[in-house]
Structure 1
Amino acid sequence: MKQGFRKNRRDGVIFGVCAGIADQFGFDVLWTRVAFVALTLLGFGLPLLLYLTVAILAP
């Protein structure tokens, strides 16, 4: 049984947030990172703010 969301520092590049999301939902980490960059460029930085929030708050 899976617990709540956790960052994956082993496979992570900066804080492990994208790797943690990929682990949680069963996605490939590369596509998770590509989606994050695309959303950041299209979302005017809001995804970056959410990323930093998760990086600080998630275990």
Structure 2
Amino acid sequence: MLKKLYKSRDDRMVSGVIGGIAEYFGIDSTLLRLIYAVVLFIGIGSPVLLYIILAIVMPEPKIDRRRPERTNNKGYYKTNASRKRSPKEAEKVEDDDWSDF
């Protein structure tokens, strides 16, 4: 299967470029962001210009129309925080007098 390079829809800090590259190569996006920060501060090449070009050129991921629950009514993808979850109930803990004080 042919892989394609897209911006990440879930792993975004600014525009999803680094998250998309990390998903494409199968590496951790935090590691890739650290490498980008080191290259940025050392001044090798022009990482800011490269990021801007990639943000413009890289396509957004296609929306899967078969799974409309992944988007809200405005067409944006829902984040994990925006999905409703049922609250977990706390388990009752027995009060043991284990303290030496």
Q: Secondary structure at the match of 2:27?
A: coil
| Structure ranking higher in helix proportion | 1
Partner of 1:54: 54
Instruction: Please tell me whether Structure 1 or Structure 2 has the larger radius of gyration of its CA atoms.
Output: 2
* Higher RCO, Cα 8 Å, sep 6+: 1
Name 1:8's counterpart in structure 2. Answer: 8
Closer/same/farther in 2, CA of residues 46 and 4 from structure 1, 3 Å limit:
same
Task: Extract unaligned runs of 5+ from structure 2.
Answer: 60-101
Number of matched residues? 59
After TM superposition, list the pairs within 5 Å mapping 1:35-54 onto structure 2: 35-43=35-43, 46-54=46-54
TM-score calculated relative to the size of structure 1: 0.87
TM-score w.r.t. structure 2 length? 0.53
Query: CA shift at 1:48, angstroms?
Result: 1.0
Q: In the alignment, which residue of structure 1 is the partner of 2:31?
A: 31
